[in-house]
Structure formats: C-alpha cells, structure tokens
Amino acid sequence: MKQLFTLITIITASLFQLANAAENTPFGQWETIDDVTGKAKSIVNIWQDGDELMGQIITILDPAKKNKVCTKCSGANKDKPVEGMVFIWGLEKDNDYWTGGKILDPDNGKEYKANITVINDGENLEVRGYIGFALIGRSQIWNRVR
C-alpha cells in the first residue's frame, strides 16, 4: 500500500510539473489589449509550426469591427479580413524568448520585427514590435485566456 501511495504521489507531481511547464509557453489563446482604451481588443491563438512561432487573430471582440478588412496591408493580406488573419510568423526560440520573426499591425498595415516573452508564470505575454533595434519600438502585455 505504501508503494502504491508513493507511485501515485510521483505521478501526480510529474503531471503537475508538466502542466506548469506547458503554461509557461506562448502557445494557446491570448487576449490582446488596445493601447489607447486599455480594453480587450481581440483573442489570438499562438502555436508552433516546426521551429516557427505563429499567431492568428481568431476573434475581434468589438462587434462594430468584426468584419474589418486590412485595407492598409500589402501583399497577400491586402483587403483580407482581419479576423482569421495570421499576423505573427517566423519567430524562433532563443532561450526564454522568441525572436527573429515579424508581427503585422492590421490597423496600419505595417510589419515589424518582433520578440515575444512569457512572463508572470505564464499568465501574460510580452509582445514587442520594433523597427531596426528592439530599443526602438513598443511593447504590449497580453493576458492568457483560460
């Protein structure tokens, strides 16, 4: 009986560690926050495709903007719906953060270099878009959707 209890304790601890490790990744759904209003703007999904981190806008929360298209975008995203758009691509893991990719701002159609870091034990995602050097840019904090 003591061996069974020890085995159950080990399995439970291992599963708890795996769950915590999974939560400390950028993978999953995130609530983006509007820089101007401070209100929730959209829900995005972040996943890994091979070595590449990708992000897609899955829901626009403002009903008035639900059918918005990216009129200022160029290339394949020109005049495409923002909801459903892949707007993060090409980031690769570098220690505790993801870098080397791009993020598209559908409001202005511009693409920026990007860094993404999981913070606060996986509760938040720090997303930084920049031109040139990472010091010249802006960051947003996104909240994990539970």
At position 121, the amino acid (one-letter code) is D
Q: What is the reported pLDDT for 134?
A: 74
Q: Do the domain assignments include residue 11?
A: no
The CATH number for 48's domain is: 2.40.128.520
| 10-59 pLDDT, tens digit each | 444 334 444 444 479 999 999 999 988 999 999 999 999 999 999 999 99
What average pLDDT is seen over the chain?
Answer: 88
Rounded to 5°, the CA angle 34-40-46 comes to: 90
Q: Do the domain assignments include residue 106?
A: yes
Give the pLDDT mean for 68-96. 97
Strand intervals (E) in the chain: 28-33, 40-49, 52-60, 86-94, 97-105, 110-119, 124-130, 137-144
67: containing domain: 26-144
Q: What is the reported pLDDT for 135?
A: 78
Indicate the pTM of the whole model. 0.82
| 108-129 pLDDT, tens digit each | 999 999 999 999 999 999 999 9
Strand partners of residue 98 = 93, 116
Q: Where are the alpha helices (DSSP H) in the chain?
A: 2-23
Q: Do the domain assignments include residue 6?
A: no
Q: Do the domain assignments include residue 12?
A: no
Q: Do the domain assignments include residue 50?
A: yes
Q: Do the domain assignments include residue 4?
A: no
Q: Do the domain assignments include residue 118?
A: yes
Q: What is the DSSP letter of 135?
A: T
Q: Do the domain assignments include residue 100?
A: yes
How many structural domains does the chain have?
A: 1
